Chain A
């Protein structure tokens, strides 16, 4: 069977189906349906445009909406760019370097790593060291300086 004959047969089958589906007693009455549709539409509450009190003319409101829309998109783009930079930028080495220098300083001087109060510098007043008693051996004058002061030398005392 050729395709043309197939098409004709399919068309005949469809015509037969159409004759069955669209038999007069099966089709709902058009006038009745239209009357029902008109009644349904008539029973709906009437919708009207309510002035929401927006200031400015329609074109101004449209312009403001446009600006708001553009601003929104720009904010979104800026946020996306910032997030992208945070994600792409490699982690800074400053924290590691600082930690390493602190370790080296602590190894060289144990006191460097000791805890210090943030206000400890307030206790270091100028001249504070003058009121303290020097310890033995501290600030010991040299021998030649002592000799010149009392006019005697160590040689005379020795002889």
Chain B
């Protein structure tokens, strides 16, 4: 899915200002968007907030325009996903450029993880989060979009910019692997 394109009737941005309708849709999606950003950032809430902030900036600046080719949610989730990838690349670039930044980043990440751990995570939710981290990226993304965001596989395919056949394969394989991992943890007495 392309974030940019020719202006269409669905575009709700004019010279740096977004319409009330667009802002309302973003507000309705805010919590789910944050959840998706967390998933795209390996559950690092600090990074997720940065990514979501940058996604909003893109929308307001007109760098990301909704053309009405898909649902608003799948479009905006695509924007968040692309922004998270850019964020990861930029972070990696900073790592390479300056060791000092690397140390600071690790410190901030550590603080974020500690912040997460301080909040009591339910046992099953924590286990699911750890299990998801063991899955390949695409499988994890499809499962998140289908089970967490309650999307159809077609909508998940739109967000991930893959064909529905490919999304279905990732969904089936991911679910199978997730089931096996959860079962093995259960039989191993973790739960």
Contact = CB atoms under 8 A, between A and B. Distances in A.
Interface string A1-40: 0000011011111101111111100111010011011101
A14 B147 CA distance: 6
B49 A30 contact: no
Contacts of B127: 13
Interface stretch (B31-39, B96-104, B161-169): B31-39
A139 interface: no
Given A20-B121, A26-B45, A10 B147 contact: yes
Contacts of A16: 122, 124-125, 128
Given A7-B175, A17-B148, A22 B122 contact: no
A33 B125 contact: no
B142 interface: no
A36 B125 CA distance: 32
- Centre residue among A9, A28, A37 by max chain B CB count within 10 A: A37
Contacts of B27: 30
A22 B175 CA distance: 23
A42 interface: yes
Contact of A13 (B30, B52, B60, B128): B128
B121 A37 contact: no
A30 B33 CA distance: 11
B119 interface: yes
Which size bracket describes the interface of B in this complex? 35 or more
A41 B128 contact: no
B121 A40 contact: no
A6 B38 CA distance: 24
A116 interface: no
B72 interface: no
Interface of A is mostly: helix
B175 A18 contact: no
B50 to A, nearest CB: 10
A132 to B, nearest CB: 90
Interface of B: 16, 23, 26-27, 30-32, 34-35, 38, 43, 45, 49, 52-53, 56-57, 59-61, 119, 121-122, 124-125, 127-129, 143-144, 147-148, 175, 178-179, 182
A13 B123 CA distance: 10
A13 B125 contact: yes
- Centre residue among B128, B129, B143, B175 by max chain A CB count within 10 A: B128
Nearest to A6: B179
- Centre residue among A10, A12, A40 by max chain B CB count within 10 A: A10
19 contacts: A10-B178, A13-B125, A13-B182, A14-B128, A16-B124, A16-B125, A17-B128, A17-B129, A19-B125, A20-B119, A20-B122, A21-B38, A22-B32, A28-B49, A28-B52, A30-B26, A33-B52, A37-B59, A44-B61
A41 B57 contact: yes
B94 to A, nearest CB: 19
Given A10-B182, A13-B125, A36-B53, 9 more contacts: A13-B128, A14-B128, A16-B125, A16-B128, A26-B119, A27-B30, A33-B56, A34-B60, A37-B56
Interface string A121-140: 00000000000000000000
